[in-house]
Chains A and B, each alone.
Chain A
Amino acid sequence: QVQLQESGPGLVKSSETLSLTCTVSGASISSYYWSWLRQPPGKGLEWIGYVYYSRRANCNPCVNYNPSLENRVTMSVDPSKNQFSLRLNSVTAADTAVYYCATDVRSGSLNWFDPWGQGTLVTVSS
């Protein structure tokens, strides 16, 4: 079955760039869409965006970001490592959160996340 594991620094300084990687096992990175989500302490989940890689796609990778973050987010794919990544620049304390990667499942017009990684806490320090 598909498994995902987030990795990256747990502490990032304010104004710098947060970088996380999600390693996928059990499926090819070109098989699905992949999303990043986050949950700040005491708050609800926020979808950050998705990335999709396929040699047959017109866009490579194809991405779609939450408008609330799109001016600071970049997602990419490394097919050779079966990984996808998140970069969030100019971070502030408001970006402190548990960050999750997830398989972005599409079925007709339906779209859900399954499975997810366990999540990784990223703290932004001043």
Chain B
Amino acid sequence: DIQMTQSPSSLSASVGDRVTITCRASQSITTHLYWYQHKPGKAPKLLIYAASAVQSGVPSRFSGSGSETDFTLTISGLQPEDFATYFCQQSYSSPHTFGQGTKLEIK
């Protein structure tokens, strides 16, 4: 199975900050990489697909980049509603695998 390693596991930031979360695959996954936002008790929400395409309805402050093994999710200008857990997923090879998640907390 392809291992997905996210960093950091947790992050403290303030409203208005720019934050970056990284996801590294154990082998090349080209751009078969997705980012989700998850708030407690809610359904996870797709933010980014194909490494850099922003899902319809997702604010433009969310962006993704990367290919092969290294990927980033950037949030430019944090809003109060952005404090949540973020995780990545690969679909290059079955079974789909996920990063462990990054918990974004208010500083």
Interface residues of A, Cβ cutoff 8 Å to B: 4, 43-47, 64, 66-68, 100, 102, 107, 109-119
Q: Which residues in B have their C-beta under 8 angstroms from that of A112?
A: 34, 46, 49, 89, 91
Asked if A111 and B41 sit within 8 Å, CB to CB, the answer is no
Interface residues of B, Cβ cutoff 8 Å to A: 32, 34, 36, 41-46, 49-50, 55, 87, 89, 91, 94-101
Asked if A118 and B43 sit within 8 Å, CB to CB, the answer is yes
- Contact for A45 among B46, B87, B91, CB less than 8 A: B87
B47 smallest CB distance to A (angstroms): 10
Q: Name B43's closest neighbour in chain A (CB-CB).
A: A116
Cα distance A97–B41 when bound, in Å?
13
Say yes or no: A68-B95 contact (C-beta < 8 A), given A44-B100, A44-B101, A118-B41: yes
Asked if A100 and B96 sit within 8 Å, CB to CB, the answer is no
Asked if B43 and A100 sit within 8 Å, CB to CB, the answer is yes
Majority DSSP secondary structure for residues of A touching B: strand
Cα distance A55–B50 when bound, in Å?
30
Q: Which residues in B have their C-beta under 8 angstroms from that of A64?
A: 94
Q: Which residues in B have their C-beta under 8 angstroms from that of A44?
A: 87, 98-101
Cα distance A53–B72 when bound, in Å?
35
A44 smallest CB distance to B (angstroms): 4
Asked if B96 and A47 sit within 8 Å, CB to CB, the answer is yes
Say yes or no: A110-B50 contact (C-beta < 8 A), given A100-B44, A117-B43: yes
Say yes or no: A67-B32 contact (C-beta < 8 A), given A113-B89, A118-B42: no
Q: A112-B91, A113-B44 provided; 5 other pairs, C-beta below 8 A?
A: A44-B87, A45-B89, A47-B98, A102-B44, A110-B32
Q: Name A47's closest neighbour in chain B (CB-CB).
A: B96
Q: Which residues in B have their C-beta under 8 angstroms from that of A116?
A: 43-45
Cα distance A112–B87 when bound, in Å?
13
Cα distance A98–B46 when bound, in Å?
18
Asked if A66 and B95 sit within 8 Å, CB to CB, the answer is yes
- Contact for B43 among A43, A47, A107, A115, CB less than 8 A: A115
Cα distance A126–B6 when bound, in Å?
34
Say yes or no: A110-B43 contact (C-beta < 8 A), given A44-B99, A44-B100, A46-B98: no
